[in-house]
Amino acid sequence: MTLHGSEIRPQDAPGPAGTGTGNGNGAAAELPADLQDERLIASHGLSGAVSAFTARLRSGDLGSVPVVVGLIIIWAVFQIANSSFLSSRNLVNLTLQTTSVGVIAIGIVLVLLLGEIDLSVGSVSGLSAAVLGVTFVNQGWPLVLSLLAGVALGLVIGLFYGALYTRFGVPSFVITLAGLLGFLGLQLLVLGKEGSLNLPFDSALVGFATRSFLSPALAYGLVAAVVAVYVLTRLRGRAARAAAGLSAAPTSMIAIKGAALAVVLLIPVIILNGDRGVSSMFLLFVGLVVATDLAVRRTRWGRSVVAVGGNVEAARRAGINVRMIYLSVFAACSTFAAVGGLLAAARLVAVNQSSGGADVNLNAIAAAVIGGTSLFGGRGSVYSALLGALVIMSISNGLALLSLDSSVRYMVTAGVLLIAVTIDSLSRRSRQAHGRA
């Protein structure tokens, strides 16, 4: 990496170092503003993009590559073990199973970006499901009101965590460990003696979670729209960069990326349409991932979250309202947990004492970490919730197909999680060695 190595700049004629308004413009003036430094390794066109990508991988900036590779391996293994694993029918099931854990994992990604943790997402999801069940089934509230109550509960819990953290500086690990126990207790209390409630099968919520699928035409239309929006925004961004005198990606690159996106979206849609189709609930999940990802990467709030995760003190001195960021992220995490709990209840058509219990908690956290979000804060992508949840649920789904019981599932999931965390730690070390920490 000669990108940043030495301080010596042999070609940099000292010139009038004192007067100094823009020496270094001269010969390189025809180049875009961001490519004028002679120490930059020129990378042009497609081959340049490929070599930049491999250089990034080598330096330990792995992004979502390990989880994609892992997912391919896992799917290949299960497909060999049981040929119905990659069938349309099973993959539709997989999308349905992934949704609730995935939605909870979105919140976990946000908390991890700050370098914090929320261990209580399972309990919070169970509690919001219990509130939904009791208010909707027992009290006869309108569905919308019950759903809002569940979501609002998550929001309030998150604000409570955030307040504890920012006011008293209690470590999030301990706060949410207390929440894990406390809200499990509250869930049992809310559910009362019978401890189990069945949601009416013909309610809109259950219909949405179990019977609502996009028509093939709609699904294909959506893919076309997404690709079109992607290419158009890329082209507009390119025009804006060119207008500002900055380097812009070649149109061929945009075309290739657009085509790749189309393929990546079309193949699953074609396969899913072979059975019931793309589930509305899964679409909601993907929509939440995309929206949250845009919020993290493209808004001031998201930039602040990543900055706080990288260096709290620097963020504070830059004038970022750090308390507000912690508060909003804890609130968002618990809210996503509540929404995940509602979706899980809707899919199971029931709420009971084990809603949100067992492995929901750790599955969601494992999904975020397996997806490539660093436990050390400041690094990660919301898409890791999607990829990680797919990995976790693929394992669970595949082992169920092979009629292996949960003993094996737990151990395999643990192994994958361990591998993911080890990769995270190793790549972090490598990034530091390559100056990308």
Partner 1 sequence: MTVTPAPAGTRTVLALRGISKRFGAVQALKNIELDVRAGEVLALVGDNGAGKSTLVKTIAGVYTADDGTMEFDGQDVRVGSPAEAQQLGIATVFQDLALCDNLDVVANLYLGRELRKGRALDEVEMERSSWALLRQLSAKIPSVRIPVASLSGGQRQTVAIARSLLGDPKVVMLDEPTAALGVAQTAEVLNLVERLRERGLAVILISHNMADVMAVADRVAVLRLGRNNGVFVVSDTKTQDIIAAITGATDNAVSERAARRTREDGTAS
Which residues make up the interface to partner 1 (CB under 8 A)? 3-4, 7, 9, 12, 14, 17-18, 20-25, 33-34, 37, 39-40, 237, 240-241, 244-246, 294, 298-300, 303-304, 306-307, 309-311, 313-321, 378-379, 431-432, 434-437
What is the smallest separation between the CB atom of 378 and partner 1, expressed in angstroms? 4
Q: Are strands 350-352 and 196-198 parallel, antiparallel or unpaired?
A: antiparallel
From the centroid of its chain, how far is CA 371? Answer: 7
In the bound state with partner 1, the residue whose beta carbon lies nearer, of 169 and 319, is 319
With H, G, I as helix, E, B as strand and everything else as coil, classify residue 350: strand
Cβ-contact 306, 113 below 8 angstroms: yes
Residue of 429, 427, 335, 320 whose CA lies nearest to 61: 427
In the bound state with partner 1, the residue whose beta carbon lies nearer, of 207 and 237, is 237
What is the smallest separation between the CB atom of 164 and partner 1, expressed in angstroms? 21
What is the smallest separation between the CB atom of 293 and partner 1, expressed in angstroms? 13
Cβ-contact 111, 367 below 8 angstroms: no
What is the smallest separation between the CB atom of 321 and partner 1, expressed in angstroms? 7
In the bound state with partner 1, the residue whose beta carbon lies nearer, of 41 and 411, is 41
With H, G, I as helix, E, B as strand and everything else as coil, classify residue 171: coil
What is the smallest separation between the CB atom of 24 and partner 1, expressed in angstroms? 7
Can you say whether residue 45 is alpha, beta or left, with left for phi > 0 and alpha for psi between -120 and 50 degrees? left
Residue of 374, 384, 391, 382 whose CA lies nearest to 430: 374
In the bound state with partner 1, the residue whose beta carbon lies nearer, of 409 and 428, is 428
What is the smallest separation between the CB atom of 114 and partner 1, expressed in angstroms? 12
What is the smallest separation between the CB atom of 167 and partner 1, expressed in angstroms? 16
Cβ-contact 373, 113 below 8 angstroms: yes
In the bound state with partner 1, the residue whose beta carbon lies nearer, of 25 and 422, is 25
DSSP state of 278: S
Rounded Cα–Cα distance for residues 97 and 409 (Å): 15
Partnered with residue 279 across adjacent β-strands are: 213
In the bound state with partner 1, the residue whose beta carbon lies nearer, of 306 and 385, is 306
From the centroid of its chain, how far is CA 91? Answer: 20
Dihedral over Cα of 111, 117, 119, 120: its sign: negative
Residue of 368, 426, 421, 366 whose CA lies nearest to 396: 366
In the bound state with partner 1, the residue whose beta carbon lies nearer, of 304 and 397, is 304
Residue of 183, 131, 124 whose CA lies nearest to 334: 124
What is the smallest separation between the CB atom of 434 and partner 1, expressed in angstroms? 8
In the bound state with partner 1, the residue whose beta carbon lies nearer, of 50 and 52, is 52
